[in-house]
Amino acid sequence: MKFLIAGLGNIGHEYAETRHNIGFDVLNAFADRHRVSFRTERLADVCEMKFKGRILLLIKPSTYMNLSGKAVKYWLGKERIALENTLIIADELAFPLSTLKLKKSGSDGGHNGLKSIQESVGTTAYPRLRFGIGNDFDKNRQVDFVLGRWADQEIETVNKKIIACCDLIESYVTCGIDRTMNEFNQMKF
Protein backbone atom coordinates (compact mmCIF):
# COMPACT_ATOMS: atom_id res chain seq x y z
CA MET A 1 0.00 0.00 0.00
CA LYS A 2 1.17 3.49 -0.86
CA PHE A 3 0.16 6.72 0.89
CA LEU A 4 0.66 10.40 0.14
CA ILE A 5 1.07 12.51 3.29
CA ALA A 6 1.08 16.23 2.47
CA GLY A 7 1.91 18.87 5.05
CA LEU A 8 0.81 22.33 3.97
CA GLY A 9 2.80 25.50 4.44
CA ASN A 10 4.73 28.22 2.67
CA ILE A 11 8.34 28.01 1.60
CA GLY A 12 10.82 30.62 2.76
CA HIS A 13 12.56 31.50 6.01
CA GLU A 14 10.01 34.22 6.85
CA TYR A 15 7.27 31.56 7.14
CA ALA A 16 9.26 29.01 9.15
CA GLU A 17 7.62 27.94 12.43
CA THR A 18 4.51 30.05 11.86
CA ARG A 19 1.00 28.79 12.59
CA HIS A 20 0.27 28.47 8.86
CA ASN A 21 3.29 26.18 8.40
CA ILE A 22 2.29 23.56 10.93
CA GLY A 23 1.92 20.98 8.14
CA PHE A 24 5.60 21.40 7.30
CA ASP A 25 6.53 21.19 10.99
CA VAL A 26 4.59 17.95 11.47
CA LEU A 27 6.25 16.31 8.45
CA ASN A 28 9.69 17.50 9.56
CA ALA A 29 9.11 15.89 12.96
CA PHE A 30 7.80 12.70 11.33
CA ALA A 31 10.83 12.49 9.03
CA ASP A 32 13.15 13.08 12.00
CA ARG A 33 11.40 10.32 13.97
CA HIS A 34 12.04 7.87 11.14
CA ARG A 35 15.53 9.18 10.31
CA VAL A 36 14.71 10.11 6.72
CA SER A 37 15.24 13.39 4.89
CA PHE A 38 13.59 15.46 2.21
CA ARG A 39 14.94 16.24 -1.22
CA THR A 40 13.75 19.02 -3.51
CA GLU A 41 11.79 17.73 -6.48
CA ARG A 42 9.10 19.02 -8.79
CA LEU A 43 6.57 21.19 -6.91
CA ALA A 44 7.59 19.90 -3.46
CA ASP A 45 10.20 18.75 -1.01
CA VAL A 46 9.73 14.98 -1.06
CA CYS A 47 10.66 12.04 1.13
CA GLU A 48 9.81 8.40 0.49
CA MET A 49 9.94 5.91 3.34
CA LYS A 50 8.65 2.52 4.42
CA PHE A 51 6.66 1.90 7.57
CA LYS A 52 5.27 -1.51 8.55
CA GLY A 53 4.95 -2.73 4.98
CA ARG A 54 3.54 0.54 3.66
CA ILE A 55 5.24 3.08 1.40
CA LEU A 56 4.76 6.66 2.51
CA LEU A 57 5.46 9.59 0.24
CA LEU A 58 5.79 12.75 2.34
CA ILE A 59 5.48 16.05 0.51
CA LYS A 60 5.84 19.67 1.52
CA PRO A 61 4.53 21.63 -1.48
CA SER A 62 6.83 24.38 -2.74
CA THR A 63 3.94 26.06 -4.57
CA TYR A 64 2.97 28.27 -1.61
CA MET A 65 -0.22 27.56 0.28
CA ASN A 66 -2.69 28.91 -2.28
CA LEU A 67 -1.49 26.47 -4.98
CA SER A 68 -1.01 23.38 -2.79
CA GLY A 69 -3.44 21.43 -4.96
CA LYS A 70 -1.07 21.60 -7.92
CA ALA A 71 1.61 19.69 -5.99
CA VAL A 72 -0.83 17.22 -4.44
CA LYS A 73 -2.42 16.39 -7.79
CA TYR A 74 0.97 16.01 -9.49
CA TRP A 75 2.36 13.60 -6.87
CA LEU A 76 -0.86 11.59 -6.65
CA GLY A 77 -0.70 11.05 -10.41
CA LYS A 78 3.04 10.48 -10.66
CA GLU A 79 3.04 7.89 -7.89
CA ARG A 80 -0.39 6.41 -8.76
CA ILE A 81 -1.71 6.88 -5.24
CA ALA A 82 -5.46 6.61 -4.61
CA LEU A 83 -7.05 9.76 -3.21
CA GLU A 84 -8.40 7.82 -0.22
CA ASN A 85 -4.76 6.98 0.67
CA THR A 86 -3.95 10.66 1.08
CA LEU A 87 -3.64 12.67 4.25
CA ILE A 88 -3.47 16.47 4.11
CA ILE A 89 -2.21 18.26 7.24
CA ALA A 90 -3.22 21.89 7.66
CA ASP A 91 -3.75 24.59 10.27
CA GLU A 92 -7.33 25.33 11.39
CA LEU A 93 -8.55 28.66 12.80
CA ALA A 94 -12.00 27.28 13.68
CA PHE A 95 -10.55 24.88 16.29
CA PRO A 96 -8.85 25.85 19.53
CA LEU A 97 -5.17 25.05 20.04
CA SER A 98 -6.24 22.13 22.25
CA THR A 99 -7.76 20.25 19.27
CA LEU A 100 -6.75 17.92 16.45
CA LYS A 101 -9.46 16.74 14.05
CA LEU A 102 -9.08 13.98 11.46
CA LYS A 103 -11.85 13.90 8.86
CA LYS A 104 -12.59 11.78 5.78
CA SER A 105 -13.88 14.75 3.81
CA GLY A 106 -15.42 18.17 4.22
CA SER A 107 -15.37 21.75 3.09
CA ASP A 108 -12.24 23.84 2.81
CA GLY A 109 -13.52 25.97 5.73
CA GLY A 110 -12.00 29.06 4.14
CA HIS A 111 -8.50 27.52 4.08
CA ASN A 112 -6.84 28.44 0.78
CA GLY A 113 -4.61 25.36 0.72
CA LEU A 114 -7.56 23.00 1.14
CA LYS A 115 -9.53 25.02 -1.42
CA SER A 116 -6.71 24.59 -3.93
CA ILE A 117 -6.60 20.84 -3.33
CA GLN A 118 -10.38 20.58 -3.72
CA GLU A 119 -10.20 22.45 -7.03
CA SER A 120 -7.27 20.34 -8.29
CA VAL A 121 -8.64 16.90 -7.39
CA GLY A 122 -12.27 17.79 -8.12
CA THR A 123 -13.75 16.67 -4.81
CA THR A 124 -13.90 17.40 -1.09
CA ALA A 125 -13.67 13.66 -0.35
CA TYR A 126 -10.07 13.38 0.75
CA PRO A 127 -8.74 12.78 4.29
CA ARG A 128 -7.40 15.77 6.18
CA LEU A 129 -5.94 16.44 9.59
CA ARG A 130 -6.86 19.86 10.92
CA PHE A 131 -4.45 21.19 13.53
CA GLY A 132 -6.31 23.71 15.70
CA ILE A 133 -4.44 27.00 16.01
CA GLY A 134 -7.20 28.99 17.74
CA ASN A 135 -8.44 32.41 16.75
CA ASP A 136 -7.07 34.71 19.42
CA PHE A 137 -6.58 37.81 17.27
CA ASP A 138 -8.03 41.29 17.04
CA LYS A 139 -10.48 42.26 14.32
CA ASN A 140 -8.86 42.49 10.87
CA ARG A 141 -5.66 40.82 12.17
CA GLN A 142 -6.30 37.26 10.94
CA VAL A 143 -3.47 37.26 8.39
CA ASP A 144 -0.97 38.51 10.97
CA PHE A 145 -2.14 35.82 13.41
CA VAL A 146 -1.99 32.94 10.92
CA LEU A 147 1.39 34.02 9.54
CA GLY A 148 2.69 34.78 13.04
CA ARG A 149 4.90 32.64 15.22
CA TRP A 150 3.59 30.69 18.19
CA ALA A 151 3.40 32.54 21.51
CA ASP A 152 5.79 31.29 24.18
CA GLN A 153 2.91 29.88 26.25
CA GLU A 154 1.70 27.85 23.21
CA ILE A 155 4.97 26.09 22.40
CA GLU A 156 4.60 23.20 24.86
CA THR A 157 1.10 22.39 23.57
CA VAL A 158 2.21 22.69 19.95
CA ASN A 159 5.10 20.28 20.54
CA LYS A 160 2.81 17.75 22.24
CA LYS A 161 0.38 17.98 19.33
CA ILE A 162 3.17 17.51 16.78
CA ILE A 163 4.16 14.26 18.54
CA ALA A 164 0.51 13.18 18.54
CA CYS A 165 0.30 13.97 14.81
CA CYS A 166 3.28 11.68 14.17
CA ASP A 167 1.51 8.92 16.11
CA LEU A 168 -1.68 9.67 14.18
CA ILE A 169 0.05 9.29 10.79
CA GLU A 170 1.40 5.90 11.86
CA SER A 171 -2.05 4.82 13.02
CA TYR A 172 -3.73 6.13 9.87
CA VAL A 173 -1.52 4.12 7.50
CA THR A 174 -1.65 0.91 9.56
CA CYS A 175 -5.09 0.88 11.26
CA GLY A 176 -7.19 3.00 8.89
CA ILE A 177 -9.01 6.28 9.18
CA ASP A 178 -12.02 5.14 11.26
CA ARG A 179 -10.02 3.66 14.09
CA THR A 180 -7.58 6.57 14.00
CA MET A 181 -10.42 9.14 14.17
CA ASN A 182 -11.90 7.31 17.17
CA GLU A 183 -8.58 7.38 18.99
CA PHE A 184 -7.28 10.85 18.17
CA ASN A 185 -10.29 13.13 17.63
CA GLN A 186 -11.20 12.92 21.33
CA MET A 187 -7.78 14.05 22.54
CA LYS A 188 -7.39 17.41 24.20
CA PHE A 189 -4.03 19.07 24.68
Catalytic residues: 20
- List, in sequence order, every residue forming a beta bridge with 47; answer none if it has no partner: 58
Task: State the Cα–Cα distance between residues 20 and 5, nearest whole angstrom.
Answer: 17
- List, in sequence order, every residue forming a beta bridge with 147; answer none if it has no partner: none
| Among candidate residues 174, 180, 171, 165, the one with its CA nearest the CA of residue 8 | 165
Sign of the alpha-carbon dihedral angle for 147, 148, 154, 160: positive
Q: Where are the alpha helices (DSSP H) in the chain?
A: 22-33, 68-79, 112-121, 142-146, 155-175, 177-184
Task: State the Cα–Cα distance between residues 67 and 16, nearest whole angstrom.
Answer: 18
| Among candidate residues 164, 120, 118, the one with its CA nearest the CA of residue 25 | 164
